[in-house]
Amino acid sequence: MEHRHVGHSGLKLSALTFGNWLTQGVDSDRRAAERCIKTALDLGITSFDTADVYAHGAAEECLGAALKGVRRESVVVMTKVFWPSVPAPRGPNEVGLSRKRIMEAIDASLRRLGMDHVDVYQAHRYDLFTPLEETMQAFADVVRSGKAHYIGVSEWTAEQIRAGHKFAQQMGVPFISNQPQYSALYRTIEAEVIPTCVELGMAQVVWSPMAQGVLSGKYLPGTPPPQGSRALDTASGGADMIARWLNDDVLEAVQKLRPLADDLGITLSQMALAWVLKNPNVATALIGATRPEQIIENVKAAGFELPQAVVDQVDAILKEVAITDPALVAKSTPSARPA
């Protein structure tokens, strides 16, 4: 397993990170989750990502239980704060990035994880309704208290990253990471966010590198989604996330990638992950799994050097269906406080 530095920091992440959004905590078999995480560890994955909002905290509990007994120093654990971590009804301060929210949320996450610290604590979204200086002071205090080693953000615009980074540097706890959606089909961070992060010494911890599984090639044009796939997962929101990709022009373009993968002797999933990892500003790509076999397949992409000629061919094939508009990054910032 390849390990990469996160920006200019000394922290290293495995090139693939096990993330448990949508896959653990919601009516999931805890034993199956533990098998997946054990497989990830056995294959050299040392970084794990979760968030307090995932399954209303159950995902953090699931990850903590699965890592119990693993030497803490040997793994990197990342979690996030912003969205409500408890179902409604809830109080008006149980969302966002106020000092109250952050200080209470980190303690709650640590209780669920069964740990005394996380390695990276990330702002899950930008908060328009809290002064940025208040947010950054709270994050700095979390680090100084020893409850987190590093801080980062998720789905912030280049302008937001630059403003937050300025405060963070002044407080002696600079940002090291940004966690955006990024894949060969979704490339909105390339024009502005990545150049800003390169300049500021930050790296990308990318989610959905396979576009919710569409780049695996298992969804075929003119054919209903396979049973058990994310496209049919209405309970935890998977179906909503993947809906944008389930049109024939996208699915037909993805199928045109198959000969490229076949020529390289890899799967479409492995090629999608290798495409993301080709970007030098990407420290790690998040993968999820409900079965160990999925991890075994995906881990083969780590360290696989995708030839530039193939990257160019992938880009050409997906050019008409890929989403690239940098203005879409700002749409991730909630314009109103979640109720």
Q: Which amino acid is at 2?
A: E
Of 80, 81, 74, residue with least CA distance to 37: 74
My answer on whether omega of the bond before 89 falls inside 30° of 0, hence cis, is yes
What is the 3-state secondary structure of the chain?
CCEEECCCCCCEEECEEEECCCCCCCCCCHHHHHHHHHHHHHCCCCEEECCCCHHHHHHHHHHHHHHCCCCHHHCEEEEEECCCCCCCCCCCCCCCCCHHHHHHHHHHHHHHHCCCCEEEEEECCCCCCCCHHHHHHHHHHHHHCCCEEEEEECCCCHHHHHHHHHHHHHCCCCEEEECCECCCCECCCCCCHHHHHHHHCCEEEEECCCHHHHHHCCCCCCCCCCCCCHHHCCCCCHHHHHHHHCCHHHHHHHHCCHHHHHHHCCCHHHHHHHHHHCCCCEEEEEECCCCHHHHHHHHHHCCCCCCHHHHHHHHHHHCCCCECCHHHHHHHCCCCCCC
Compute CA 100 distance to the chain's CA centroid, rounded to the nearest angstrom.
25
Q: What is the biggest distance separating any 2 CA atoms in the chain, rounded to whole angstroms?
A: 56
Q: Which residues are identified as catalytic? A: 54
Question: Residue 80's beta-bridge partner residues?
Answer: 122
Of 306, 252, 287, residue with least CA distance to 37: 287
